[in-house]
């Protein structure tokens, strides 16, 4: 009975634990420290896609399509934008359905739709060779999905997972998580279809996406790809490590 009750709780509470969104009112005013533009794109009559475009003061090299993690909304991740803007890249962040000012139901299909909408918007201003696709945590699966369907310059993944169901199996190995997970996002499947160079960053002490899970992606990498392990790094502190910042600086000057 205990096994069944815990399994039922995992199934019905998975969205609560996975999608820790913070919705905002439509008239909410962001107050970011760097220049930005805000866009609201109607996807359907019931769905709105909110995008923040962080501008660069350097000579424009391109754009970074930034897919953030599962916490709160764009405001939680805006502090990462200067890492790219100082190298001449605009940074376009979108909020997922139910996050920030984006509306709609959070389903795997809707997540993919929002990712493609962001790319279509960027492609109107930028050629593929000036578009970087970046994913952090939960956003790495969406970044990989997008890059498997469109052309870009490079894909950068910070703390990626093999699939969300495989993560669930790590924490709940006695349950059939593949069958229980409503949103799976199989990064491994999409990574095989990415033609552009891929750079992966993963910490050895990550307790949310363990190194063992991210490392399952290694056999799928091409000769042009790289898997950078950050000794001591955890899930949210990789930019505090010189190895991460040096490598990112190198990638962004290419």
Residue 45 has pLDDT above 90, yes or no: no
- Over the stretch 66-101, which tens digit does the pLDDT of each residue have? 999 999 999 999 999 999 999 999 999 999 999 999
Residue 46 has pLDDT above 90, yes or no: no
- Over the stretch 212-251, which tens digit does the pLDDT of each residue have? 999 999 999 999 999 999 999 999 999 999 999 999 999 9
* Structural domains of the chain ordered from first start: 2-252 (3.40.50.1820)
Q: SS3 string of 62-98?
A: EEEEEECCCEECHHHHHHHCHHHHCCCEEEEEECCCC
Q: How far is CA 88 from CA 3, 41, 42, in A?
A: 53, 25, 29
Confidence of residue 63 (pLDDT cuts 50, 70, 90): very high
Mean pLDDT across the stretch 19-44? 94
Residue 39 has pLDDT above 90, yes or no: yes
The pLDDT assigned to 44 comes to 87
Nearest to 48, CA basis, from 39, 60, 57: 39
Residue 194 has pLDDT above 90, yes or no: yes
Q: Which two tokens stand for residue 85?
A: 């803007």
In this prediction the pTM is: 0.96
The pLDDT assigned to 241 comes to 98
CA distance 81 to 86: 9
Q: Tokens 């359907």 sit at which residue? A: 44
How many alpha carbons fall within 13 Å on the CB side of residue 142? 30
């Amino acid at each position: 009975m205990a096994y069944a009750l815990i399994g039922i709780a995992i199934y019905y509470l998975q969205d609560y634990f996975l999608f820790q969104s913070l919705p905002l009112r439509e008239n909410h005013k962001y107050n970011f420290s760097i220049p930005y533009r805000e866009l609201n794109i109607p996807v359907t009559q019931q769905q709105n896609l909110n995008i923040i475009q962080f501008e660069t003061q350097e000579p424009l090299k391109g754009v970074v399509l930034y897919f953030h993690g599962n916490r709160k909304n764009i405001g939680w991740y805006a502090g990462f934008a200067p890492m790219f803007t100082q190298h001449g890249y605009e940074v376009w962040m979108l909020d997922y359905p139910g996050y920030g000012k984006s509306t709609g139901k959070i389903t795997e299909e809707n997540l993919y739709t929002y990712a493609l909408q962001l790319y279509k918007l960027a492609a109107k201003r930028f050629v593929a060779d000036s578009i970087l696709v970046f994913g952090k945590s939960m956003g790495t699966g969406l970044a990989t999905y997008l890059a498997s369907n469109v052309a870009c310059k490079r894909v950068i993944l910070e703390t990626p997972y093999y699939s969300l169901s495989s993560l669930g199996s790590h924490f709940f190995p006695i349950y059939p998580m593949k069958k229980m997970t409503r949103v799976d996002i199989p990064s491994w499947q999409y990574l095989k279809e990415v033609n552009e160079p891929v750079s992966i960053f993963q910490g050895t002490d990550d307790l949310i996406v363990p190194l063992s899970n991210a490392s399952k992606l290694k056999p799928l990498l091409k000769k042009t790809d790289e898997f950078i392990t950050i000794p001591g790094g955890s899930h949210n502190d990789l930019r505090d490590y010189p190895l991460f910042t040096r490598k990112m600086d190198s990638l962004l000057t290419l």
